[in-house]
Structure 1
């Protein structure tokens, strides 16, 4: 099992974004596993979603890449606190696995700040030096949060 505390190490990448959408509106998007490829950069399609998503142990079966070069993989829920935090274990074979922490904090005016923290915890990608991993993960996660906010803001109109 992956130690989810690894994302608090110096190599972890924290990306923040503030949205006018409420924590409830953002959680609605996170809680619908079928939306995953619309906001997660690199996810191409969903093949199956556990019926208890986003409960602990629930799994998304997804594919990453671009057709026809797709890799089938999965993401599992490690921890779930509605409208506050979702911790996922994302897998991309053969590169490795990475815990992903998504935290929602209410802001004045009814919106929220979303923090996404991620770092590789297992597999060959762990051999990439921390600063290089950060340079690859940070822009991807910034775009991921941008997409998540757009969807949540649209749903809350």
Structure 2
């Protein structure tokens, strides 16, 4: 399993707001290029994001579904990216001072990606998830607080 962490300079609640807004998925997930639909129940277990991966005109329609969730703390996803296969992705949030320590772990679960040896696939997953966390931080740290 490849794991990345990043301290995001905002509260876990604000980071969770980004994670629980499925329409923002392609803004922070490297490889996701557009959203087609978000299940109204997102992010409860079994709900799905319907997205596309790739670059036009070579877009592939796919989905990501929630396997487990502890709102505000942890979400486990099954991300599909055929023809490469699927991956299990776990994102955890832990308060740290005034910020949030975000950890993302990813492991191929099925398809051709499982045949790539860990020493080969590890560096590319490490880079991709480092950029994913950087994008997530940009959104969460700059997100306007809801007015009440």
Q: TM-score, normalised by structure 1?
A: 0.90
SS at structure 1 position matched to 2:30? coil
Post-superposition CA distance 1:98-134 (Å, at most 9, x none): 00000000001x2110000001011111100011111
Q: State the Cα distance separating 1:156 from its structure 2 match.
A: 5.1
Unmatched tracts of structure 1, length 5 or more: 1-11
How many residue pairs match? The answer is 145
1:67 alignment counterpart: 56
1:134 aligns to 2:113 (yes or no): no
SS at structure 1 position matched to 2:108? coil
Unmatched tracts of structure 2, length 5 or more: none
1:155 alignment counterpart: 143
2:66 alignment counterpart: 77
1:95 equivalent among 73, 84, 99? 84
Q: TM-score, normalised by structure 2?
A: 0.95
1:45 alignment counterpart: 34
Post-superposition CA distance 1:75-104 (Å, at most 9, x none): 000011111001100011111110000000
Moved >6 Å (runs of 4+): none
CA distance, structure 1, for counterparts of residue 27 and residue 90 of structure 2: 18
2:105 alignment counterpart: 117
SS at structure 2 position matched to 1:121? strand
1:6 alignment counterpart: none
SS at structure 2 position matched to 1:36? helix
What CA RMSD, in Å, does the superposition of the two structures yield over aligned residues? Answer: 0.9
